[in-house]
Structure 1
């Protein structure tokens, strides 16, 4: 086990002084009450600040709206899961039997949450500057991407801007169904716009993911209606 954890720390580029912090960061709530949720909360805040600072420094003339979209693209769950896979983080997670059988070690939401938890643990084990250096290193290729500022907006933003341009009400998103155990839930979200009879539904393992999919479906319907 020690050799495996050492391998992970080499991938991260950081050696923990308190190995218990790293162990907790890798422990899912399906295993123990002493899990990584609090560390995830901390890591989420730290990551957002680091990325915001870096974008602010790199793009001195860029307006706030563009900076916000760039940050959202860099800290969204999909991106965090991609980086977690670069470290093979799923191989080191402590999951309950149900999550293991369900393939939780490769689920985007679990990988993203665990990535944030590791960062939170690193902050407690060291300091903000150390975390910033590591994050910038992990994100280097993405931060250097010349197309980052023109990455496609997320479906919810596109739908909102389309409706505003048409002077229509903004969309509402409502969870209409929740399936599964507390540690393995699927959310069904409905997207609707006041004054438009058509509604769309879709599902995902996170509420945000389900909302984005429902927005995508609504956009597809609008495009079809306008053909």
Structure 2
């Protein structure tokens, strides 16, 4: 459950393995669970993003900075990052949550990511947690335009390709699993011009497409 692949993607190696395990444990599984770490993570995320925006946009007034921060720390943005990290694959969920697709539920994924931030803070200190958060959010911050909303992964991928006059990605449904009330969708994203093929999965086709787009963006960033 605490596969080192998650730590590589997250950019931090835990010294205290129990902290990592607790951060990945939903309250439906057992206690201790990740809600207390989520409380810490929410606080440090807001503080780190506030400082980063303060330094990134030195002339913006308080109101604009607050709006940018709110966009960055909202559930949808956390969910995008969690999908890119495949965080759902590492969560410890109770049987009921597993059957209902909890490992792809935006609220559960967002809370778990905040719990990870809190765990890094306790394990490695404030400076280390700040580095992890800034590194994870840097792509979103670089694309910020004051007054505009944060764009989802599919939109960002589309704009990236359009800006280079390349053909748009093709999304195709490649499989479904599970009962009708808890179905999981698997989607493939193909960018022929860049020789990129990525996959995503989720409780809805849209969520699966977002994950596939996020992974395609990761491949472009490392190409």
Superposed pair shares fold, TM > 0.5 = yes
Give aligned pairs, total: 150
In 2, Cα distance between equivalents of 1:151 and 1:109: 23
In 2, Cα distance between equivalents of 1:72 and 1:50: 13
Deviations 1:162-199 (A, max 9, x none): xxxxxxxxxxxxxxxxxxxxxxxxxxxxxxxxxxxxxx
- Runs of at least 5 residues in structure 1 that lack an aligned partner in the other structure: 154-227
User: How far apart are 1:60 and its partner, in Å?
Assistant: 1.1
In 2, Cα distance between equivalents of 1:18 and 1:108: 27
Within a 5 Å distance, the mapping from 1:46-65 to structure 2 comes to 46-65=44-63
Deviations 1:16-49 (A, max 9, x none): 0000000000000001121000000000000000
Name the Cα RMSD after superposition: 1.3
TM-score (norm 1): 0.64
Matched, 1:150 2:142: no
* Residue among 33, 36, 47 paired with 1:35: 33
> Which protein has the larger Cα radius of gyration, Structure 1 or Structure 2?
1
Q: Give the structure 2 partner of residue 118 of structure 1.
A: 116
In 1, Cα distance between equivalents of 2:8 and 2:14: 10
TM-score (norm 2): 0.65
Q: Give the structure 2 partner of residue 96 of structure 1.
A: 94
Higher relative contact order (Cα pairs below 8 Å, separated by 6+ residues): 2
In 1, Cα distance between equivalents of 2:94 and 2:75: 22
Within a 5 Å distance, the mapping from 1:118-137 to structure 2 comes to 118-137=116-135
Q: Secondary structure at the match of 1:150?
A: coil
Show structure 1 runs of 4+ deviating over 4 A. none
User: How far apart are 1:61 and its partner, in Å?
Assistant: 1.1
- Runs of at least 5 residues in structure 2 that lack an aligned partner in the other structure: 151-223
Residues 22 and 34 of structure 2 are in contact (CA less than 8 Å); yes or no, is this contact kept in structure 1? yes
